[in-house]
Structure 1
Amino acid sequence: MKIFAPFLVAALATQSWAVPTLYLAGDSTMASGGGGSGTQGFGEYLKNSFSGITIVNKAIGGRSARSYWNEGRFQAIADLVKAGDYVLIEFGHNDGGSLSTTDNGRTDCFGGGSEVCISPTTGEKVYTYVFYLLQAGKLMTAKGAHVVIASPTPNNLWETGTWSYTAPRFTGYGRSVVTSLGSLAAFVDHGLYVANEYKALGATKVNAFYPVDHTHTSPAGAESVAGQFVKGLKCGGSALSAYVTASISGSCY
């Protein structure tokens, strides 16, 4: 047994000092490749602001909290996470709409709690944004992983020529999910931080961030959006902020 002791010690040391992983779950505003040619998701730039943690981008374009759940993508991440890992969840761009006559497979049931709708197309029981995120969060925290829920990034706030921002209902929904999940969860108001940064940058700069539509950012825009997530994270006090190496400036909100 003494012959193998050094190998056992080395194995235990490796486990004790294992580098944690940050998994990203979201839509095209976060995903690699963004919304197509000329665009990029902000998740691809987070690695520039962190150290001592591995970042794995599992965001997929066109997804909502509902479709990400139904496709088993939250479960796939839960199968990978270990205690001490982190999961960033940010949805909202594809979660709106109505289930009154049609169903695109992405729209959530309207409401901030346990409401249930029936899909007029398939008869599926459709739950709320809160429900899907809460179930996803429980999968992660049950493994000892930390969850960060972020509000969705805004579209181009200078599109009309005048800056304007109203927080979407998903912001409040996200906060309620974090409250329900408890101490392993944290909230980042990503939308608010991006909105205020866009106001400071002005119309010319921000309009250039949107080369194809008012939702998907250019690489430069994605880098700016990533920076505002990091700022919101540092200001919010999540345990994930311990891995941030980038400096932040300006006020916290």
Structure 2
Amino acid sequence: MVSSDRNLLKNPSKYRPNRRQTGSAIALTLVVAAAGLVPTSSVAAVQALPPQCSGSSPIRCQFNVAPGNYQVTVELGSPDRAANTSMSVEARRQILSAVSTTAGQVVRTTATVNARVPEGQPTGQGGTGTSGLSITFGGSAPQVRSLTVAPASAPLVVYLAGDSTTCDQFTSPYAGWGQAFPARVGSGAVIANYGDSGESSGSFLSNRALFPTVKPLIKSKDLVFIQFGHNDKNTTSTAFRDNLTRMINGVRERGGSPVLVTPPVRRQFSGSTLTRTAQHVNGLGVDLPAVMRSLGRSGNVPVIDLTAKSKALVESLGPSASQPLYLTRETGDNTHFSLYGATKMADLVVQGVREQNLSLTAFLR
């Protein structure tokens, strides 16, 4: 806890707490401004970065808050210089693409963000990060005029259950599409990415840090996107269907809405077309995306066919032009995405959200 936090907690007359439960912690409705944590009513007059921020390019801010969802309001720009500013949180989660402003121009925006421990992959792969909420302002010339943080009020939460192609990758150049997805979602909805490297449909169910952790968090009308296949290389059709059904039923028990997302293709060509392996026909001959499509029809579960969408994209580019989507040139990896590729995959997921007319549609940027 920073010193300004301690001072406020010792002097409760300086703020008016709203004792609303956020997870297992009592959240105080406070926002962050120049003097540390101050009452909400004082923020309008403040035009400065809080002391929790440091640096100039990038600007890094660290807030000592409990895990949960937070409303971040930021004014981007400068009164005397042109600027180019992006925003990410926690483990490289993209929240705002770079915004260019002229001298004297200030753009105000809000976003709902998720803070958790670990801040990246739930099992801690790649690193656990820092407790609290980390916010980074990048871009070619970042300028931030003001910044406030407050507990979010009952946002629509979209949980992601998946593998390394979905997860918040801690280290560049790796990126999961779930890392780019938040930049497509406006205030009032939040992405909580529980994707984890190496997980199959079965291991995600059994690992305490994964589905057993996600399930109790799900509230009525929350969405849970379920994407598996990459690591179900020797999973039978029956086991794959049963594992997905258990997740679907678990989400519905909590009042949430499950969504099946078929896995994005690998970049494995035979001539100008992708191989069966690239399209997730596994070592037992099971067409995993086909199982998901069938389950969606029989179980009345929306399906975002990311396999078909990514196949069309990758094949349209061909063997050479599709390389930048993956880490082909960097590491010889034709499964995992670059940030560019993750962004393209997130765009395809957004396309699917619109096609299925999911409740998230109303919050898309």
Coarse TM-score class (shorter-chain normalised): 0.7 to 0.9
Q: In proportion to residue count, which structure has more strand?
A: 2
Alpha-carbon contact 1:75-1:136 (below 8 Å) kept: no
How far did residue 135 of structure 1 move? 0.6
Alpha-carbon contact 2:206-2:212 (below 8 Å) kept: no
Structure 1 residues 209 and 133: alpha-carbon distance in aligned structure 2, compared to 1, 3 A threshold = same
How far did residue 37 of structure 1 move? 4.7
Q: In proportion to residue count, which structure has more helix?
A: 1
What secondary structure is seen at the aligned counterpart in 1 of 2:307? helix
1:96-147, Cα deviation, whole Å (9 max, x unpaired): 12xxxxxxxxxx2x12x4xxxxxxxxxxxxxx11111111111111111111
How far did residue 75 of structure 1 move? 2.2
- Cα RMSD after superposing both structures: 2.8
Q: Find the aligned partners of 1:151 and 1:143 in 2 and give their Cα distance.
A: 23
Q: Which residue of 2 aligns with 1:163?
A: 273
Question: Which structure has the bigger radius of gyration?
Answer: 2
Q: Find the aligned partners of 1:156 and 1:204 in 2 and give their Cα distance.
A: 10
The residue identity in structure 2 corresponding to 1:140 is V
**Is 1:143–2:254 an aligned residue pair?**
yes
Structure 1 residues 63 and 76: alpha-carbon distance in aligned structure 2, compared to 1, 3 A threshold = same
The residue identity in structure 1 corresponding to 2:241 is V
Q: Which residue of 2 aligns with 1:229?
A: 349
Q: Which residue of 2 aligns with 1:204?
A: 320
What secondary structure is seen at the aligned counterpart in 2 of 1:208? helix
Alpha-carbon contact 1:206-1:221 (below 8 Å) kept: no
Alpha-carbon contact 1:165-1:195 (below 8 Å) kept: no
Q: 2:308 aligns with which of 179, 192, 209?
A: 192
How far did residue 206 of structure 1 move? 1.1
Structure 1 residues 45 and 37: alpha-carbon distance in aligned structure 2, compared to 1, 3 A threshold = closer
Q: Which residue of 1 aligns with 2:233?
A: 96
The residue identity in structure 1 corresponding to 2:297 is T
TM-score normalised by structure 1 residue count: 0.73
Q: Which residue of 1 aligns with 2:73?
A: none
**Is 1:173–2:283 an aligned residue pair?**
no
Alpha-carbon contact 1:24-1:87 (below 8 Å) kept: yes
Q: Which residue of 2 aligns with 1:26?
A: 162
What secondary structure is seen at the aligned counterpart in 2 of 1:60? coil
Alpha-carbon contact 1:30-1:41 (below 8 Å) kept: yes
Q: Which residue of 2 aligns with 1:76?
A: 213
How far did residue 203 of structure 1 move? 3.3
Q: Which residue of 1 aligns with 2:174?
A: 39
What secondary structure is seen at the aligned counterpart in 2 of 1:68? helix
Q: Which residue of 1 aligns with 2:191?
A: 55
4+ long deviations beyond 6 Å: none
Q: Give unpaired runs (5+ residues) of structure 2.
A: 1-18, 21-152, 281-286
What secondary structure is seen at the aligned counterpart in 1 of 2:336? coil
